[in-house]
Chains A and B, each alone.
Chain A
Amino acid sequence: MNHRVIEAAPPPERFARGWHCLGLADTYKDGKPHAVEAFGTKLVVFQGEGGGLSVLNGYCPHMGGDLTQGTVKGDAIACPFHDWRWGGDGKCAGIPYAKRVPRGARTLAWPTLERNQQLYVWNDPEGNPPPEGVTIPEIAGAGSPEWSNWTWNTMRVDGSHCREIVDNVVDMAHFFYIHYALPTYFKNVFEGHVATQYYEGVSRDDAYLGFVPGTENQKIAQRSEAAYHGPSYMIDYLWNEAEGTTVETVLINCHYPIGRNAFMLQWGVIVKKFPGMDDATADAMAAQVAEGVGLGFMQDVEIWKSKAPIDNPLLCDQDGPVYQLRRWYEQFYVDAAEVAPEMTDRFEFEIDTARAVQVWEQEVAANVEAGISYSMIPKSMRAG
């Protein structure tokens, strides 16, 4: 008898072309250099006196000094080894002990974007700037007085390639088995550099997720529109409705590669204030959502820690379009000239959820009957 054999090529040598979020911009605005281990190297992030954030290679091209251990002097970062100065544009801005700067002395300056109160860095193995139209969209709620402040969390994941988390975009069933959700509608659209997941679901009577303040047994209707803008940055607009009240949330789910088999997972949350809600209460609500999301990611990580990489998944009809998602994702790992039309042409896939919903509702009812209840939120943190 033939049996299925798992195939898996080694993870790609290169890092994805695209914008990668490095976190909240304010984190880097303390006048000190910051080290970020990313793209198989170390970067230095600093704010010059002009106010803008710059990202340079972390090691000084002179003798390899660690610029992240250096000092911000004026608009430049000064190396702790010999005080060579590097401007945010990558040009050598001065060598105090030298008569002149060597001609063309320049280190790698990474293109940056500050938007949504976050800092993004552009990676392109070919060294080209971001093309027209490939950017991170503005999030209307970010920085708005009608919304909370951002929460921000990070989790280093070792031993997995970041494509594992991107697979989640199409993975309807894992939302039930890993995240205690119950999807009722699930559709994907891939086009250009954007991959979207449209999701609707309901809360489970055997689980409490904490996305909406209130009692444990309230029914929550969930709707989400989540899109990767490039290889690593997902904006997820969420509407959770319970007892006539809708909580609007924006969740950022993003990552940057540290090495070929490690990445930094990051997530941030803002929630829209209810009328009359003060800042502290709104921030606490965002923190509660962020904690629930964090627990969800920990459940993903548990799976990744022991799962095998798999290039040839065996799919059933109720699975999402894993192969087409990976075809889309491949565009970020080939030269720009090698991006094939099928990687970026529009593709839509809507799952027939009827069978899954029926089976899952039965399983939930059986759990309730047996007194089984899952919780994402520690008891002490629960509202109501």
Chain B
Amino acid sequence: MRPVDCRACGVRVLVEKRSLPHTSVQWPTGAAAACAEFAPRVAAGRATALIPHCAALRASIEQAVRDGSLEVPADV
């Protein structure tokens, strides 16, 4: 897994992409509770596991793929 920083909040997550559609993301302790995108829904009582993704983080991962800092194996 490779580190990727969220361009919105700076949190560093570990990401693995075995192909373009595949994504595996390991968040560090406490990061989801601090995510600004999650905050309003958490305040409304929703468990963070019921939020599929943070859009800003997703965009950051896609950017890391585009700029080559996150390598994706060629499809075989």
- A→B interface (CB under 8 Å): 137, 187, 189-192, 194-196, 198, 225, 227, 229, 317, 321, 341, 345-354
Interfacial chain A residues near B63, Cβ < 8 Å: none
User: In the complex the two chains form, what is the Cα distance from A26 to B23 in whole Å?
Assistant: 44
B27 x A317 contact (CB < 8 A):
no
- Kindly identify which residue among B45, B49, B52 contacts A192, using a CB–CB cutoff of 8 Å: B49
B18 x A346 contact (CB < 8 A):
no
User: In the complex the two chains form, what is the Cα distance from A317 to B28 in whole Å?
Assistant: 24
Residues facing A in B11-38 (CB within 8 A) are 18-29, 31-32
- Kindly identify which residue among A191, A352, A353 contacts B49, using a CB–CB cutoff of 8 Å: A191
Interfacial chain A residues near B18, Cβ < 8 Å: 317, 352
In whole Å, how far is B70's beta carbon from the nearest beta carbon of chain A? 15
User: In the complex the two chains form, what is the Cα distance from A290 to B52 in whole Å?
Assistant: 27
What 5 A-B pairs have minimum CB-CB distances, sorted nearest first? A194-B49, A346-B27, A352-B22, A352-B21, A191-B49
Interfacial chain A residues near B43, Cβ < 8 Å: none
User: In the complex the two chains form, what is the Cα distance from A211 to B53 in whole Å?
Assistant: 28
Main secondary structure of the interface of A (DSSP, over half): strand
A192 x B53 contact (CB < 8 A):
no
B49 x A227 contact (CB < 8 A):
yes
B52 x A198 contact (CB < 8 A):
yes
A-B contact pairs, 7 of them (CB 8 A): A137-B47, A194-B50, A346-B48, A346-B49, A347-B25, A349-B25, A352-B20
Q: Please name the residue on chain A nearest to B53 by beta carbon.
A: A348
Interfacial chain A residues near B19, Cβ < 8 Å: 317, 352
Main secondary structure of the interface of B (DSSP, over half): loop
User: In the complex the two chains form, what is the Cα distance from A352 to B19 in whole Å?
Assistant: 7
- Kindly identify which residue among B20, B25, B45, B50 contacts A348, using a CB–CB cutoff of 8 Å: B25
In whole Å, how far is B13's beta carbon from the nearest beta carbon of chain A? 9
In whole Å, how far is A243's beta carbon from the nearest beta carbon of chain B? 27
In whole Å, how far is B62's beta carbon from the nearest beta carbon of chain A? 13
Known: A191-B32, A352-B18, A354-B21. A347 touches B27 (CB 8 A): yes
Interfacial chain B residues near A194, Cβ < 8 Å: 47-50
Interfacial chain A residues near B25, Cβ < 8 Å: 346-349
User: In the complex the two chains form, what is the Cα distance from A225 to B28 in whole Å?
Assistant: 24
In whole Å, how far is B10's beta carbon from the nearest beta carbon of chain A? 16
Interfacial chain B residues near A137, Cβ < 8 Å: 45, 47
User: In the complex the two chains form, what is the Cα distance from A189 to B20 in whole Å?
Assistant: 19
Known: A191-B32, A341-B29, A346-B32. A353 touches B21 (CB 8 A): yes
A351 x B47 contact (CB < 8 A):
no
User: In the complex the two chains form, what is the Cα distance from A189 to B38 in whole Å?
Assistant: 14
User: In the complex the two chains form, what is the Cα distance from A110 to B49 in whole Å?
Assistant: 28
B52 x A191 contact (CB < 8 A):
no
B31 x A346 contact (CB < 8 A):
yes
Known: A348-B53, A352-B18, A354-B21. A227 touches B47 (CB 8 A): yes
Q: Please name the residue on chain B nearest to A196 by beta carbon.
A: B49
Interfacial chain A residues near B26, Cβ < 8 Å: 345-347
- Kindly identify which residue among A191, A198, A349 contacts B47, using a CB–CB cutoff of 8 Å: A191
Q: Please name the residue on chain B nearest to A317 by beta carbon.
A: B18
Q: Please name the residue on chain A nearest to B48 by beta carbon.
A: A191
User: In the complex the two chains form, what is the Cα distance from A368 to B32 in whole Å?
Assistant: 46
Interfacial chain B residues near A341, Cβ < 8 Å: 29
In whole Å, how far is A200's beta carbon from the nearest beta carbon of chain B? 12
User: In the complex the two chains form, what is the Cα distance from A341 to B32 in whole Å?
Assistant: 13
Known: A189-B49, A192-B49. A345 touches B21 (CB 8 A): no
User: In the complex the two chains form, what is the Cα distance from A132 to B53 in whole Å?
Assistant: 25
A192 x B21 contact (CB < 8 A):
no
Interfacial chain B residues near A345, Cβ < 8 Å: 26-29, 31
Interfacial chain A residues near B31, Cβ < 8 Å: 345-346
In whole Å, how far is A27's beta carbon from the nearest beta carbon of chain B? 28
User: In the complex the two chains form, what is the Cα distance from A194 to B51 in whole Å?
Assistant: 11
